[in-house]
Amino acid sequence: GGSPDYAAIAHAAEGGRFIVALPSTAARGTVSRIVPELMVPATVAGALVDVVVTEHGVADITGLNGTARADALRAIADPSFTESLL
């Protein structure tokens, strides 16, 4: 816990941005952490996330619509999973 509070504080601060950094895969590389849809409710509302960082790059998703946001996130997913994210 605590991520929703950090997100709210980041957005309340002048020039604040909420950045999520995570490995692109889990379970020893067998599962993508970048997914086309969530199976459970998100801890932090998507609208509060500004930047997502993985070992494959940085996606600045601030203000992007659904399609552009998906494209940006797909670009930082593990290459072995990008086809399944189309």
Distance between CA 81 and CA 77 in Å, rounded? 7
Structure confidence by residue, pLDDT tens digits, 39-48: 888 889 888 9
From the candidate CATH numbers 3.40.50.720, 3.40.1080.20, 3.40.50.10860, 3.30.1180.20, the one assigned to the domain spanning 3-85: 3.40.1080.20
Residue 54 in contact with residue 76, Cβ under 8 Å? yes
Structure confidence by residue, pLDDT tens digits, 4-46: 999 999 999 999 999 999 999 999 999 999 999 988 888 898 8
Q: Is 49's pLDDT higher than 70?
A: yes
Domain ranges in the chain?
3-85
Residues in CB range of 16: below 8 A, 6 or more apart: 9, 10
Which residue do the tokens 């490995």 mark?
Answer: 23
pTM over 0.85: yes
Distance between CA 81 and CA 86 in Å, rounded? 9
